[in-house]
Chains A and B, each alone.
Chain A
Amino acid sequence: DAMVIQNPRYQVTQFGKPVTLSCSQTLNHNVMYWYQQKSSQAPKLLFHYYDKDFNNEADTPDNFQSRRPNTSFCFLDIRSPGLGDAAMYLCATSGGTDPYEQYFGPGTRLTVT
């Protein structure tokens, strides 16, 4: 089945230690997104790639970076995680038959100790 895959599902990192989260997709969609979802809150868009064009949301902290080496993969880098960065990180894609429809992966739960 075509899908959005996130690895790892659970990630523990230490305060200030860089961490990378991974997303891959088999949908061949041209747009990929990263959302942050804190406990009992709505997902919040951090940034998205339209093909190789990177689009950062205005209020996304500089501590968050992203890379998209090819159509299938996208990475979220957190350069110096703080306790406030503990959250579920969701990857999504769009660009299929209906270009507006976004399909989410299962998420990576990040814990910062």
Chain B
Amino acid sequence: GENVEQHPSTLSVQEGDSAVIKCTYSDSASNYFPWYKQELGKGPQLIIDIRSNVGEKKDQRIAVTLNKTAKHFSLHITETQPEDSAVYFCAASISGYALNFGKGTSLLVTP
């Protein structure tokens, strides 16, 4: 089955700096790659996603890049703010139904 590796497990940045989280996947048939933000005690919130036919997607301060050849994708957050502090999960899916999640990255943005 699909295996998703996510790094780093924890990330601390200063407010205003950029944060990058990287994921790799094993199944070349995967074609959908969402990123979720989860705050303490809440359900995951979809923040951005990308399909396998697109190399990059941007939404304000958040961007995701996908390298199909290398089977890795990354989340980039620019101009980080304290409210960006949360756990971020990447996921990969073949069908769009079964999301295989990475283990998560705990991001801390310090003022």
Taking beta carbons and an 8 Å cutoff, which residues of A are in contact with B?
A: 4, 6, 31, 33, 40-45, 48, 50, 55, 57, 90, 92, 94, 99-107, 109
Contact = CB atoms under 8 A, between A and B. Distances in A.
B104 A42 contact: yes
B93 A100 contact: yes
B64 to A, nearest CB: 14
Contact of B99 (A4, A45, A55, A109): A45
B44 A90 contact: yes
Nearest to A44: B101
A103 B46 CA distance: 7
Contact of A106 (B34, B42, B49, B104): B42
Given A94-B97, A107-B43, 14 more contacts: A40-B104, A41-B103, A42-B104, A44-B101, A48-B98, A90-B44, A94-B96, A100-B49, A100-B93, A102-B46, A102-B99, A104-B36, A104-B46, A106-B42
23 contacts: A4-B43, A6-B43, A33-B97, A41-B104, A42-B89, A42-B103, A42-B104, A45-B98, A45-B99, A55-B97, A92-B43, A94-B96, A94-B97, A100-B32, A100-B34, A100-B49, A100-B93, A100-B96, A103-B46, A104-B44, A104-B45, A104-B46, A107-B43
Contacts of B45: 104
- Residue among B44, B93, B104 having the largest count of chain A Cβ atoms under 10 Å: B44
Interface string B74-105: 00000000000000010001001111011110
B42 A50 contact: no
